[in-house]
Structure 1
Amino acid sequence: MTHDDGYLARYWHPRDDGRIVCDLCPRDCTLSDGQRGLCFVRQNVGGQLRLTTYGRSSGLCIDPIEKKPLSHFHPGTSVLSLGTAGCNLSCKFCQNWDISKSRDMDTLATAATPTAIAAAARRHGCHSVAFTYNDPTIFAEYAIDIADACHQLGIQTVAVTAGYIHAAPRADLYAKIDAANVDLKGFSDRFYRKLTGGQLAPVLETLEYLVHETEVWTEITTLVIPGYNDDDAQLRAQCEWIVERLGADVPVHFSGFHPDFKLLDVPPTPLATLRRARAVAKACGISHVYTGNVHDVDGDTTHCGACGEPVIVRDWYALLDYRLSPDGACPACATPLPGRFSPTPGTFGRKRLQIVV
């Protein structure tokens, strides 16, 4: 196998007409020889499906875990962030389109074996490795192998994902993941079809699977786009579904949009809109709601879901005050905070470090 052939993918089957079908995600791309799927990185090569980005990583930065965003997963710790190229959705508002829609992978990505990534994370003192920038769904085989290498060194793994994946690969991938932030991009099929080229139902299925059938710590992010998914009715329907189907303790992040990719004519999300979305979520009963991509100390701060005491005060990604007990409970009322917590918080702060594997 040459480098250009790619890595033999795991999720596909042949058709009688000589084409093959990718079984990774609900797109079910049917590919003739030489043809690539919508994600661009899975290709029919001589009647076999190949992952063309296996062993190539982009990004390679060390970030605070709060940037993923994860507010209830070992606060203050550092995470080695990486992606590859391509995506299985076509979001017109993509904030990482230069990676997710790249067609120039050789210049975008650097060679990095799973063991090299895990070793780099340990060398830099990272608590975890995050698959982010583009969706780990489309490089699931690579992500699984990296996760195995990380776990051998005691390093945890994080998936930042749109959740657009079939059941079998989903089970394989998330058996190797410790925490996930799932982008719930809107709460209507019309929104998904018009702005992402996908469907809502598979994302909801992934959320229910993660919360109820795995040990993966799960948080949700919605990028709030003015005029598209910022109305109270859609926000309320989304939050009511979360409380009913996932539970009130799943943290929700409302992040600010900035004009990018194919939505350059849409203004940035006002802080007031994010605060309104947060208020809607709290009124629906969600215990932990955050604002993102804006400066909002109250929206960054974690409060006890029982008594309202501020237990982790943040300014952007920096911890200003950390009041949880060593076992992760509120100091005022002793109620455990849902999440994954170390006896002491991390001290990485809000910096970002570029690294070489």
Structure 2
Amino acid sequence: MNCPVCFRRCPLEEGETGFCRARRNTGGRSVSVSYGKITSAALDPVEKKPFVKFHPGSLILSVGTFGCNMDCPFCQNYEIAGAGEGGVPTRSISPTELAALADELRGRGNIGVAYTYNEPLVGWEFVRDSAAEVKKRGLKNAAVTNGSVSAETLSELLPYIDAYNIDLKGFTDEYYRKLGGNLESVKEFIKTAASKAHVELTTLIVPGENDGDDEMAALSAWIASVDRKIPLHLTRFFPRRLMSNRKPTETALLRRLAEIAAKRLDTVVMGNI
């Protein structure tokens, strides 16, 4: 069978696990092996997700599982994003238990749950089921995602997710191929999500990779064609994983790209500075 969850459509024999390490062919079906297996949890400021226009000043319970369907050489959470079943310590929690925990934290300023840290949507069933329980309690749901799943997968989440922060990692097919992704899939995800929920976008600026003026002009013009009110976060790169020998992004470069983007977008925010 071919896994239908993302653009990869991994061909899987019975018992075989896909590229994301979070799904397996079980009885001819693509089954999540990360369901309810939490690797990380924290009560974070929403600005850390990052969101600038979604309940600013609030806190949100952030949870992650394991696995990812991309392979970014600069990933800062590779220990869990690059892990598979049994590859990292986990704590089991049900959607109902997660929603109850989020509700308990309401008194500390918590507004809901953010599904984040790894790529949460490769385990979309847990996100959907948890988000439904969270919503019943009058709390909010946010997904921090690379936006690289199929339209069918996204449709399962649209009734429950209030806000998305989506990585738009660059604006060329070549760059996305380097990262093991697919630009067109992300663009379609962004357009659909923006029609149903609050959306903010994040682009990590990696020197020598996606830092051209023309690319930023094209990227911001495309976002504006969807909705110029969508906030864009431009963040500094710091050496990580396979790019530990690179230099951090210069603040002057980030500022110049932000000025280019601001010609087309209402809100451009610089991060990691």
**Structure 1 and Structure 2 fold alike (TM over 0.5):** yes
Counterpart of 1:338 in structure 2 is none
Distance in 1 separating the partners of 2:7 and 2:102: 33
Task: Look up the match of 1:11.
Answer: none
Spell out, residue by residue over 1:305-334, the C-alpha distance to the aligned partner (whole angstroms, 9 max, x if none).
xxxxxxxxxxxxxxxxxxxxxxxxxxxxxx
Deviation of 1:265 after TM superposition, in Å, equals 2.0
1:289 equivalenced with 2:268 (yes/no): yes
Matches for 1:78-89 after TM superposition, within 5 Å: 78-89=59-70
How many equivalent pairs are there? 270
- Residue 137 of structure 1 pairs with residue 121 of structure 2: yes
Between the aligned partners of 2:247 and 2:16, the Cα distance in structure 1 is 37
* Amino acid corresponding to residue 181 of structure 1 in structure 2: N
Which residue of structure 2 lines up, in the alignment, with residue 160 of structure 1?
144
Instruction: Give yes or no for the alignment of 1:197 onto 2:188.
Output: no
Query: Which residue, 173, 179, 183 being the options, matches 2:167?
Result: 183
Separation in 1, partners of 2:87, 2:132:
25
Match of 2:229 in 1: 249
The residue type paired with residue 247 of structure 1 is D
CA contact (8 A) 2:146 2:167 kept: yes
The answer to whether the 8 A contact 1:84-1:134 is kept is yes
* Paired position in structure 2 for 1:323: none
Residues 18-38 of structure 1, C-alpha deviations (whole Å, 9 max, x = no match): xx1110101001101221100
Counterpart Cα distance in 2 of 1:161 and 1:135? 6
**Matched letter for residue 188 of structure 1:** T
Equivalent-residue separation in structure 2 for 1:101 and 1:149 (angstroms): 28
What is residue 31 of structure 2 aligned with on the other side?
Answer: 50
Question: How far apart in 1 are the matches of 2:86 and 2:249?
Answer: 32
Q: 1:3-59: CA deviations, max 9, x gaps?
A: xxxxxxxxxxxxxxxxx1110101001101221100011011343332111111121
The 5-angstrom pairing of residues 310-349 of structure 1 reads none
- Secondary structure in 2 matching 1:124: helix
| Residues in 2 aligned to 1:127 and 1:49: alpha-carbon distance in whole angstroms | 32
Name the TM-score, length of structure 2 as normaliser. Answer: 0.96
Q: Match of 1:73? A: 54
Q: Residue in 1 aligned with 2:245?
A: 265
Question: C-alpha separation between the residues in 1 aligned to 2:118 and 2:227?
Answer: 28
Letter in 2 for 1:293: N
| Identity fraction in percent | 38
Counterpart in the other structure of 1:351: none
Secondary structure, counterpart of 1:53 in structure 2: coil
Task: Say if 1:180 and 1:77 are closer, same or farther in 2 by CA, change over 3 A.
Answer: same
Report the equivalent of 1:13: none
2 CA distance for matches of 1:222 and 1:48? 34
Shift of 1:141: 0.2
Distance 1:66 1:223 in 2: 16
Match of 1:229 in 2: 210
Q: Which residue of 1 aligns with 2:191?
A: 208
2:148 aligned partner, one-letter code = Y
Whichever structure has more helix as a proportion of its residues is 2
The reply on whether 1:103 has 2:84 as its aligned counterpart is yes
2:114 and 2:144 in contact (8 A); partners too: yes
Matched, 1:277 2:238: no
Amino acid at match of 2:251: L
Partner of 1:41: 22
Within 2, Cα distance between the matches of 1:287 and 1:162?
22
Structure 2 CA distance for aligned equivalents of residues 105 and 187 of structure 1: 35
Q: Does 1:150 align with 2:134?
A: yes
1:172 aligned partner = 156
Q: Is the 8 A contact 1:85 1:105 kept in 2?
A: no
Aligned-CA RMSD value: 1.2
Secondary structure at 2:127's aligned position in 1? helix
- The amino acid across from 1:159 in the alignment is A
Structure 2 segments unaligned to the other structure (5+ residues) = none
One-letter amino acid of the counterpart of residue 186, structure 1: G
| 1:221 shift after superposition | 0.3
> Do the aligned residues in 1 keep the contact of 2:22 with 2:84 (CA within 8 Å)?
no
Counterpart-to-counterpart distance in 2, 1:159 and 1:74: 14
Partner of 1:347: none
Q: Distance in 2 between matches of 1:252 and 1:161?
A: 14
Give 1:226 deviation, angstroms. Answer: 0.6
SS in structure 2 opposite 1:193?
Answer: helix
